[in-house]
Amino acid sequence: MKIALGADHAGFELKEKVRQYLLKKGITVNDRGTKSLEPVDYPDYARLVGEDVVGKRADFGILVCGSGIGMSIAANKIPGIRAVNAHDETEAHLAREHNDANVLTLGGRFLDESTAQKIIDKWLSTPFAGGRHATRVGKIADIERAEVSG
């Protein structure tokens, strides 16, 4: 498995902990930055990670900013990305099982390392249920295609 990982300055510290955690689990990580606490613009990193996922250079993406909200909004502008800002294991589970979320966003100012690890583990271990949920995800893709071409 390969994860594209990104963060802004507010998510940098948690991103570094997430990177180490994923590597210890034997997961390949493409760290797209940022590389310091210097202020940066989160949409730049959301785009890099999202493009890695839709371009099949990564299986999934994880983004970290202060709240996780801005990264989620920015990543969801990329056609084919279904980003979720999960606060707990239940949201992470449902995001994968029902929505086939391919990018996880986390709030570095709100989640401690242990909670973030539990969310990541649940998200990565939950398969997409398909069935009626695949129909719904397909309708989301239809909206994207109509907006892009219209």
Active-site residue among 9, 87, 93, 98?
Answer: 98
Active-site residue among 65, 87, 93, 133?
Answer: 65
Which residue in 91, 102, 104 sits closest to 141, CA to CA? 102
**What are the backbone angles phi and psi of residue 21, rounded to the nearest 5°?**
-65, -45
Tell me, yes or no, if 65 is annotated catalytic.
yes
Tell me the C-alpha distance between 66 and 1, whole Å.
26
Tell me, yes or no, if 93 is annotated catalytic.
no
Asked whether 50 and 61 are in contact (CB, 8 A), the reply is yes
Chain Cα centroid distance, residue 86: 9
Residues labelled as active-site residues: 65, 98
